[in-house]
Chains A and B, each alone.
Chain A
Amino acid sequence: MDNCGLYVRTDVNFHPALLFFLAALPTSAAGPTYRELLLADRPVAYWRFDTIEECCTPNETHQSLRANAGDKVSLLEPGPRPPEFPAFSEENSAADFTGYERDTYLRVKDPGTKSEFDFENGDTITMEAWVQCQHIAEGRNVYIVGKGRTGSPGFASDNQNWALRLRGQAGVACPSFVFRDRENAGEKGWHRWTTTSGIVPGKEWHHVVVSYKFGEPGSVRSYVNGEEIKGAWDMGGASSAAPVVDNDEVWIGGSMGGAPQAQFPGRIDELAIYRTALSPERIKIHAAREGAIPALRDAPASRTLTKSEALPLPPEIIAVEELPKGKVRVQVFEFPKSAQEEIGWVSSNDSTKKKAESPDADETWSVLPGNRTDEFTEQVFAFADITNKYNERGVKVDRSAPFLVRAAGVVRLPAGEYTLHLRALTGARVAFDGHIIAETPLKKPKGGDVEAVPDMAKEQLVASMPPLPPGHREVQGRLSSDGQPHVLLIECLIGGKGIRPEIGELFAAVTKDGETFAVIGPEGAERKTPGLTSGEWQRFSDEQCARVAMLNAQRRRNPAEEAYWKHRHDLARQNAKPAPAVPSAADDASIFNDVDRFISAKLAKNNAKPAPLCDDASFLRRAMLDITGVIPTEQEATAFLADNSRDKRAKAIDRLLASPGWADHWTSYWQDVLAENPNILKGTLNNTGPFRWWIHEALLDNKPMDRFATELITMEGSASYGGPAGFAIASQNDLPMAAKAQIVSSAFLANEMKCARCHDAPYHPFEQGDLFKIAAMLQRAPLKVPGSSLTQGLTRNSKVTVTLKPGEMIDPHFPFATPGEPLPGVIRKKDDSRENLAAILTDSREDRFAQVIANRVWRQFLGFGIVDPVDDWSTALASHPELLKWLAHELITHDYDLKHVARLILNSHTYQRVPQPSAMRTVKSSERLFESPARRRMTAEQLVDSLFAVTGLQMDSEQLSFDPEDRQSPKDHNNLGIPRRAWEFTSLSNERDRPALAKPRAQVIADVLAAFGWRESRPEPRSTRDHDANVLQPATLANSTISNRLARLSDEHAFTALAMEEQPLAHLVERMFLRMLSRPPTPAEAAKFSAILSPGFASRRTGAAPAPPRPPFTMGVSWANHLNPDASTAVLAVEHVVKAGPTPSPQLASDWRDRMEDAVWALMLTPEFTHIP
């Protein structure tokens, strides 16, 4: 509280202690104080802004000033002070509404009817204030004070009783009076009088007065700094009509619901309202100052400007001292939702029409978002990623469109002249001490498809920099440094009407010699600024993404939310059913933990023996694939094999469970189960939003499973960019919530209700209405049965019946028995049927949810479920019902921590045994013994991720979007980014068969994924994949473009580096096996591989330099030009290069390298590689 303004919240009473800070009333020996001067003129309201509450008026009823909810007006900023203003005290302070902040106004409650704020014809009003207007946009009207037009409920949006404003005309701020009459509707009801000269925006204080006698249009007067100035009725004409009178509030410094364009851009002090016309003489006395009176400037009346004519707001001026040392301060500013809707360029009172059509605003520098919603520091002036925004539940939400990123830091460049280089995807500008040095054009969305295909290499200004990505622009400016510290600022507008919120590559760099550019860093930065080469930029960008991921994790964390879940978990523990007794089993070698006791008991009963434990190498590979989705590195394998400690398996399990790989591996599972199905082009076929990002974050955070289910079911957050709201979408589905009800039921209750979508399920104990009731809960409203949902044309002998009728309304209601009223404190929004549904499903008094989840994990680790199928329990029986209950109890009593159950299973001997053919028999699930896990083939994702991990190669996929330029409608184009792990792939969506829409680099990877059972589109949930072998699987590994890349020893390949190392051949062969198969070779294998690699081994190294890197693909093919034949040609050229494969490393002798490649190929192809040991 001692170093900045007071933050005041609506309807919060001030703590008495605050009064301690209030400034003492000034006294003056030289003459009357300003306060005394003013009170002598008997204002009806007078706000001094030295303290928060003080209003020096005779009327006590409206004494309190209150800032709007959650936002700030600083009330302790300097106001007019001596010596220039001798009537003021040294401590005089003013209200600061600076910047583009939205909602920085002050509210005064209306005292009620017939108050001193109500004016009828014949009444006179005088409004007076000291103002410091720092800038003003053309055609903009900023509020000093006004009554009405607050957007408060119960009042018309245009109920302007009266207002004093400044209006921007020809760069000058002209005092302006406005009121709305009570007779005329629409435009005609507005009456605005504006002066024809005004004050020059800046740091000067000005004294402004307007007075008016209602009913007498000729009576209006305005005075600036004590001098009367002329004006004219410039809107709605002069009128003798009486003004609107109501009980809406008086707002200071803003209006129009807090819209930024009405916000006062500066400070206001000593605001007074009189019910008399102040005399010119008194006004002169009030305006007294020492020294020269600032000159006014003529401002011919301007018409209302179109948005293209509106002047941009200048960059924020920031002092060196405000900024952190050695860092770049990054701030994110947003429009509140309502303000976005209000930004129209028509005269503001008829913006309602625009509301419905365009909730997003155009990108423009003349209306800037002002709500600061994030702040963090970065190392340098370069961005490849920016934090996300999360709500209080920790799920991703959308920022306003557009939002502003403002990065500022203190830089100190040695004295001299520089060229500054700015690269940006969107509109961005760089300013040095407030002066714009370089600016990229604002984005204009466009829906074309036959534009010229740009060669980005030609668009790029500096050839040595990393390739300019499509849609990015570069500009340069001159910068002169005196060698002193200065503030450098990058502002960037991201997203907007019809533009996805993407930052792209954003950086500012400088050069002195005109050649070597370096990214600008702050004075005293910890990190060296990255050089601008592809490699360094990539490293920097990876580093930054990792840092941003950490910032995102912090932003998701919310102690209040965690406290709520802790409360629920405490309740869950207290209310859980008792755990089933663990069977007593002899503590022999077959038992490690209680899981094994359950298994052992049934084995014994069936006179069966458990299989032996697998060896360490097998264990590590299996556990890594099951936990992180990739095979061990050589170092991991070696270290594990060399470790002699008894608990090394348990330690490895703990280490792996803590790795972020857990999230990568399990995301694809939930994508399948929850039918995550985004499309990068025009949603069809049950497409959803990309809630994969939420799944991944939930797993990274290890969100408890009840919370996971609740967040999914409540479907909050961002729909298009990665929040669980994306789950709510089902394109081209006439009943999305029925589809979602089906998914929720199968995922969390193992109730397969698919059939009930159209008819009563013939093989399941469900009626159609059951599904529709859940669907209505998800809909949060009664659901109308559509005609399409009912099966028609049934044959006479059909087993199927239909109980619902088209048009019937189904109420939200849980159709099955519930565990009773929700436990206290569980439901936060009482009437929210989604929350209720989630609460019922996850209620610990009924353990079905916990059993289903535990069984799913069991199925993934052991190859079969305790109940199969895992998503449909209507007829299946459990093999170990007590074990399942026990696992469910463990889940419930351990805060629904999935990793806890995973840890129990992974540590069990049951998991760690050698797979036996007997364990793979097709039997009813009730008959399964789990003498060992079943053999499993790697999933598509495990395989692809492992192949890239072991070869050290980048995936090198295209960006998963047809609109890398970020110009097409977000409705039709998604951008899922450049995948780093297999789960990030999606359908490449070239149903149009257009060569220009092909993605040859991604396709070769998607082909492998598809061959191994990954679904490119997931219109329906699936809990288990088809794992049957087919010829395409080994074929794509043996002969595809991607296998060519994986087996070719290019300079980037990890096995090239391995082969270059000085070491005996036997050692090399051993390491190849360790890397590929996580085990050393058998003697026979070692002999065979050594024999192949031995000839020429000694002279394998040629001493040649690595091959020059492949030139980047620079043709900017995008949706905007894909029907231009050049786009097809460009993509085919890429395909050609991709097919040819990477350049073999010249560092290895080609004959020997060929044999080494063949060995790598064979190790990749053996079934041992693709099967989990």
Chain B
Amino acid sequence: MNLSRRQFIAQSALAASAAALGAPAFAEEAKSPLAKAEHCLFIWLGGGMSHLDTFDAKTTKGDGLKKPGCYYDTIETAIPGVRFCEHLPRLAKMAERLVPVRSVNHTVIDEHAAAVNRMHTGRPVSGSVVYPSIGSIVAHQRHAVADGVPPYVLIGYPSATRGPGFLGPKAGYVYLTDTAAGPAGLTRMPGITDTRQRRRESLLASLRSDYVSRNPGDRIVQDYDDAIGEVFKLQGGDFMKAFDLASEADSLRQTYGDEFGQRCMLARRLIQRGVRFVEVGFNLNFVNGAGWDTHNGAQKQQHALIQRLDQGVAALLTDLGNQRLLEKTVVVIATEFGRPAAFDAGGGRGHYGKCFTCVLAGGGLRTGQAIGTTDDLAMNIVEEPVAVHDLFATIFAAMGINPAKNLMDGERPVPITDKGQAIAKLFT
């Protein structure tokens, strides 16, 4: 690999300081190349995935004790010179569909919530603005692809960090915490048969129409009544069929693997029905207790997580490809920070934000290349640092959203990213 430093890097220092405040009243600038992806599928590895043990694997092997290094053997990938760990065989083979961005970096390391916030909003916390999450920005900018479908679905735990911030509830998410149940609010409750649902709606219909007719011209009442109508439309419509995973062929479901894989498959079914942005949380803590937050003993079972990631994402990319969705779907594997090469006293790893990996795929990006190189232990960026706002700018640009565009927080303009610049060479 012979990558030269690119221009956007020079901007980073300036932008990073401006980032602290939510810069006001900048003229919009449109320097990022824009592409035409329709969807974004944001796979979130909560806890902080060890980049050194996965997508930035090094042949210097650590022993889990005193000697720092990669915890696993490494394997070659379809990208020359790029090695993954041995537990990512499927993704290694299909690496031509991936862009490991190995030089993502920020300064938040000791606090998960703050780092999760950074990696969802693309900026540091500000004292005076609640920034929207990437999902909410996409929902706000591009709405749902189809009618009767929410623009933003979260498969995971709800939190303010994933919320709409100053964009308001309309840019919020619909969430579910497991694939077997549909999203909170749209899945009919157990025991509510068709007969009962009809009875309910019929009783409600007369109450609604009486009330609306008693308050003619009342926009507030009317809007709420319309929203009730929307519920039933959503509930009975195509959208809810997305959650009927059993309708997929067993063989395909098996390719995806267990709960995380099923979430990925559900995400594919959701975008097929017109959802714009899906966040898939990979938070299966039962595997090793700590999920990706592999301090101490949690390190020992980390491979089980990596294997599930390999299986689920490989199946997803293949499936999206087969369904001709991959080109119009940006897939992102993101996490709050990486982990250092050295081990803690319990044989696990601490937090490390100075350099870590996120992975992009699909979305019409020029995949099959790695961005950023790191040193022998993946502790320092050697080339091409990618600031968080640049990563975000890349995702926005891939979806045709100008990363410099201003959103309005009341009367106050706030750019979508703090002068983030898309990684130019991922765009044709």
Contact = CB atoms under 8 A, between A and B. Distances in A.
Given A990-B157, A1092-B203, A1019 B130 contact: yes
A935 interface: yes
A1167 B290 contact: no
Contacts of B112: 991-992
B169 A1159 contact: no
A1140 B203 contact: no
Contacts of B203: 1088-1089, 1092, 1158-1159, 1161-1162
A704 to B, nearest CB: 30
B80 interface: no
Contact of A1003 (B15, B20, B158): B158
21 contacts: A685-B130, A686-B127, A792-B17, A793-B15, A793-B419, A798-B26, A987-B160, A993-B44, A995-B284, A998-B177, A1010-B169, A1011-B185, A1016-B160, A1019-B130, A1030-B172, A1032-B174, A1035-B185, A1044-B190, A1161-B203, A1165-B228, A1167-B228
Given A791-B24, A915-B218, A757 B128 contact: yes
Given A792-B18, A1159-B203, A1162-B200, 4 more contacts: A791-B23, A920-B220, A1004-B184, A1029-B227
A738 B114 CA distance: 21
A1140 B216 CA distance: 40
Contact of B27 (A755, A797, A1011, A1171): A797
B100 interface: no
A733 B127 contact: yes
A759 interface: yes
Contacts of B248: none
B283 interface: yes
B345 interface: no
A955 B211 CA distance: 29
B156 to A, nearest CB: 6
B215 A1028 contact: no
A793 B128 contact: no
A794 B125 CA distance: 20
A971 to B, nearest CB: 12
A1028 B128 contact: no
A584 interface: no
Given A757-B128, A1031-B231, A1167 B224 contact: yes
B50 to A, nearest CB: 16
Contacts of B290: 1123
B169 A1026 contact: yes
A1092 B199 contact: yes
B283 A1029 contact: no
A754 B128 contact: yes
Interface in A1027-1043: 1027-1036, 1038-1041, 1043
B206 interface: yes
A1125 B169 contact: no
Contacts of B390: none
A1170 interface: yes
Given A682-B113, A991-B117, A1139-B181, A791 B18 contact: yes
Nearest to A1020: B128
A917 B218 contact: yes
Contacts of B196: 1154, 1158
B199 to A, nearest CB: 5
Contacts of A1036: 184-185
A1032 B154 CA distance: 14
Nearest to B214: A1168
Nearest to B212: A1167
Interface of A: 450, 681-682, 684-686, 730, 732-735, 738-739, 742, 754-755, 757-759, 762-763, 787-789, 791-795, 797-800, 915, 917, 920, 934-937, 987-996, 998, 1003-1004, 1007, 1010-1011, 1013, 1016-1017, 1019-1020, 1026-1036, 1038-1041, 1043-1044, 1082, 1084-1085, 1088-1089, 1092, 1123-1125, 1128-1129, 1135, 1139-1141, 1154-1155, 1158-1159, 1161-1163, 1165-1168, 1170-1171
Given A684-B111, A1011-B169, A1084-B206, A798 B25 contact: yes
B141 interface: no
Query: A994, A1092, A1154: which has the most chain B beta carbons within 10 Å?
Result: A994
Interface in B212-261: 212, 215-221, 223-228, 230-231, 234-235
Interface string B254-288: 00000000000000000000000000010111111
A450 B129 contact: no
Interface of B: 14-15, 17-18, 20-27, 44, 46-47, 111-114, 116-117, 125, 127-130, 150, 156-161, 168-170, 172, 174, 177, 181, 184-190, 196, 199-200, 203-204, 206-208, 210-212, 215-221, 223-228, 230-231, 234-235, 281, 283-291, 293, 296-298, 411-412, 419
B224 to A, nearest CB: 4
A937 B18 contact: no
B219 A917 contact: yes
B204 A1165 contact: yes
Contacts of A754: 128, 412
Given A788-B20, A1039-B188, A1125 B159 contact: no
Given A991-B112, A992-B46, A993-B283, A793 B185 contact: no
A1016 to B, nearest CB: 5
Contacts of A1039: 184-189, 231, 235
Nearest to B216: A917
A1088 B284 CA distance: 49
Contacts of B168: 1026, 1028
Contacts, number: 272
Contacts of A1092: 199, 203
A1034 B230 CA distance: 9
A681 B228 contact: no
A1044 to B, nearest CB: 4
Contacts of B27: 795, 797-798
A973 to B, nearest CB: 13
Nearest to A786: B20
A729 B246 CA distance: 51
A992 B293 contact: yes
Contacts of B199: 1092, 1155, 1158
B208 A730 contact: no
Contacts of B160: 685, 987, 1016-1017
Contacts of B231: 1031, 1034-1035, 1038-1039
Contacts of A1165: 200, 204, 207, 228
Contacts of A1010: 158, 169, 172
B243 to A, nearest CB: 13
Can you list the 5 inter-chain pairs with the closest CB atoms, starting with the nearest? A1035-B185, A993-B46, A1162-B203, A917-B217, A993-B283
A755 B228 contact: no
Which residue, A993, A995, A1028, A1040, has most C-beta atoms of chain B within 10 A? A993
A168 to B, nearest CB: 40
Nearest to B223: A1029
B159 to A, nearest CB: 5
Contacts of A1154: 196
A1163 to B, nearest CB: 7
| Most A CB within 10 A of own CB, among B160, B234, B284, B296 | B160
Contact of A684 (B15, B114, B221, B285): B114
A1042 to B, nearest CB: 9
Contact of B177 (A735, A1135, A1168): A1135
A755 B170 CA distance: 25
A1171 B221 contact: yes
A1123 B128 contact: no
Contacts of B286: 995, 1125, 1128-1129
B135 to A, nearest CB: 14
B126 to A, nearest CB: 8
A1029 B226 contact: yes
- Which residue, B125, B212, B219, B228, has most C-beta atoms of chain A within 10 A? B228
B24 A1043 contact: no
Nearest to B113: A991
